[in-house]
Amino acid sequence: MNKKFIFVSAIVLLFQTTSLFSANYEKIGEKKLFNGEILSEYKLSNGLKVLFLPRHEAKVLTFQTWFDIGSLDEKMDAKLKKTGLAHLFEHMMFRGTDQYPDGKFDELTSRMGSEKQNATTFFYRTNYYESIPSNQLNKLLELESDRMANLKLDAALLDKEKGAVVGELRRALDNPGRLAWDELNRTVFEVAPFRYTVLGTEEEIKGFTLEEAQYFYKTFYAPNNATIIIVGDTEEEELMKFIVKYYGDMKAQEVPRYKMPEEPVQKRERRVEKTHPQATSDILLVGYRIPSVNSPDVVPLSLLSTHLSTGMEARLRKSLVDKGIAVSAGCEVSSVPDYLEFAVSLAEKHRAEEALEVINREVSNLKTQVIKKEDFERALNQELLSLYNMIEDNSSMANMLGDYLMVSGNYMRGFEIIDEFKKIKPIDLKTAANKYLKKDSRSVVIVRPQPKKSSRS
């Protein structure tokens, strides 16, 4: 669930938006991507948004549905005030409708040859996805629209699914890295619901009722709260014909929007230490609050994180992994929650404090020195390579569009940022470091192994 924005280099040509009215939908945009591909955007009269990128190299396509609902919303919802339901509900979306009872969705999508079929839930969104042979599009849309509109929530199935979700939660809790990340969110945010985990607690999961699940479904799974993304082998006319056929009759509804509680200004460093029975060495996480992905300051911060953590020549690798202090060391821009996160897995017999000292030194260097031109070039070209590799794959391309849409409201933001990369200079990284990487506004989490019991009692 932890994510990084991969800020990409692209020349985005924004074409004049065209409006092509049809019976039930409107083409509201067409954009030419830097690689020449054309991305189209549509909106149905019920508010459902559709993004379509045709690709014909192979007779396959990726289909994704993104809902603008995640664990943050349920915590802020007056009727729920808990977390874990958005995720548990994501599981329930595979549990059947009247027309296609439990197991049928999986069976039929499997029969059509689907690949990478799954779903994920995060703080700010839930997505469902699969890739299919393109001649199966009609049937897939029938199934996907059916579960979006006609899910049958059953108490017995809800109970069974709770068992699987508790298993998922426990597996996560057995992972010391997961504890560290949860602690970082709890430490960085004093009031915002990022401090509550997406999976919820075991007690919350076991306590969800059928009524709460029904309320959640009826409230948030509305066409005007969803975006469909298709990348692959189909044609606009056929696609939109099917979309209108299967989604056109859904009714728009009022979806509640919640105002995120304002975080108090952090005035001093926060530090938390925990132990974990499965940890065999220290884990260190450091989070610096940064602005949202729409801020121009995120551009130099992103390049700064690449400079620190991408490749064999990355600063953190050289000063921590190569020196034998750590097994891995990374730095990434996280958005929603917005922070620059350092993550270090220490080598056995090394302490988190050693890594923190190195991070302090690297941050200090970034604040006092302008990075060399060749290091800047390295970071920029590594971002380009990453983007080029990513967009080649249909699913990854759809993921990138969907994720940027959900965090920034602008699915083109990833491509825009790359243009902005080309406009900044090495000194902008120094400026951003001085503005945001302040010791007083950071949070430090250390997870250590539990002390070994003495053989003497």
Partner 1 sequence: MLRKTFFLVVLSSFTFAKEKTSFRSAPATENGVPVAPKVFYEKNPAGLTSDISVIVMSGSMEDPIDKIGLSNLVAEMILRGTKKRGRERFQGELERMGGALSASVSMDTIQFSGSVIKENNKKFIALLEEALLQPAFSEKDFLELKREILNDIVHVKNSNNRLGGLAARREIFKGSPLEKPGFGSKSTVEKITLADVQRRYNDFFDRPKIIFAAAAPFSENEMVQEFSRIWRQFPDGNKPVKRLVNLKVPEKPTLIVVDKPKTSTGSLFFAQPGITIQDPDRYTLSTGNFSFGGEPLVSRLFRIVRGELGWTYAIGSSYSALGGLSGQQGLFTISSTPSVEYTSKTIFKILEMWRSYMNEGLSSDELELAKESLINSYPFEFDTAAKRVSHKLTSFLYNIPILTPEEYSEKIGEISNRKLKAALTEKQKVNRWLIALVADKDVVAKDLEEYQKDVPQDERLTISKIYTPDELVN
CB 235 to partner 1: min, Å: 17
Tell me how far apart the alpha carbons of residues 112 and 63 are, in angstroms, rounded to a whole number.
Answer: 13
Q: Whose Cβ is closer to partner 1: residue 223's or residue 330's? A: 330
- Kindly tell me which of 150 and 175 has the beta carbon lying closer to partner 1: 175
> Nearest approach, Cβ of 92 to partner 1 (angstroms)?
12
Residues 6+ apart with CB under 8 A from 283: 176, 177, 180, 343, 344, 345, 346, 352, 446, 447, 448
- Considering the complex, what minimum distance in angstroms separates the CB of residue 201 from partner 1? 13
Q: Which is nearer to partner 1, 393 or 420 (CB)?
A: 393
Q: Which of 236, 225, 243 is nearest to 40 (CA)?
A: 236
Torsion of CA 224, 230, 236, 242, to 10 degrees: -60
Task: Residue 445: count other Cβ atoms within 10 Å of its Cβ.
Answer: 26
Q: Shortest gap between Cβ of 211 and partner 1 (angstroms)?
A: 21
Runs of H (alpha helix) within 33-78: 71-76
Longest Cα pair distance anywhere in the chain, in angstroms? 81
* 46 vs 121, beta carbon nearer partner 1: 121
CB atoms within 10 A of CB 156: 9
Q: What is the distance of C-alpha 107 from the center of its chain?
A: 28
- Closest residue by Cα to residue 344 from 336, 335, 353, 420: 353
Check residue 337 and give left, alpha or beta (phi > 0: left; psi -120 to 50: alpha).
Answer: beta
With respect to partner 1, which residue has the nearer C-beta, 219 or 394? 394
Q: Among candidates 276, 325, 229, which has minimal Cα distance to 451?
A: 276
Distance CA 276, CA 175 (A): 8
CB of 36 to partner 1, least distance (A): 8
CB of 21 to partner 1, least distance (A): 33
The nearer residue to partner 1, 148 or 320, going by C-beta atoms, is: 320
Q: Which is nearer to partner 1, 190 or 392 (CB)?
A: 392
Residue 337, preceding peptide bond in cis (omega within 30° of 0): yes
Say how many C-beta atoms besides its own lie within 10 A of residue 432's C-beta.
24
Cβ-based nearer residue to partner 1, 6 or 86:
6
Q: Which residue lies nearer to partner 1 by CB, 24 or 386?
A: 386
Minimum CB–partner distance for residue 131 and partner 1 (Å): 7
Min separation Cβ 289 and partner 1, Å: 23
CA separation for the pair 91, 99 (Å, rounded)? 18
CB 205, CB 88: distance < 8 Å: yes
Least distance (Å) between residue 318 CB and partner 1 = 8
Using DSSP's 3-state secondary structure scheme, residue 131 falls into strand
| Cβ(131)–Cβ(115) below 8 Å | yes
- Determine how β-strand 25-32 pairs with β-strand 13-14: antiparallel
CA 349 to centroid of chain Cα atoms: 34
Least CB distance from residue 106 to partner 1, whole Å? 4
Cα 316 from Cα 324, distance rounded (Å): 12
Looking at the Cβ atoms of 353 and 392, the one nearer to partner 1 is 392
The answer to whether the CB of 112 falls within 8 A of the CB of 131 is: no
Closest CA to 124 of 71, 190, 183, 75: 71
Residue 143: CB minimum distance to partner 1, A: 13
Question: In this complex, which beta carbon is closest to partner 1, that of residue 240 or of residue 301?
Answer: 301
Closer residue to partner 1 (CB): 28 or 166: 166
Min dist CB 421 to partner 1, Å, is 13
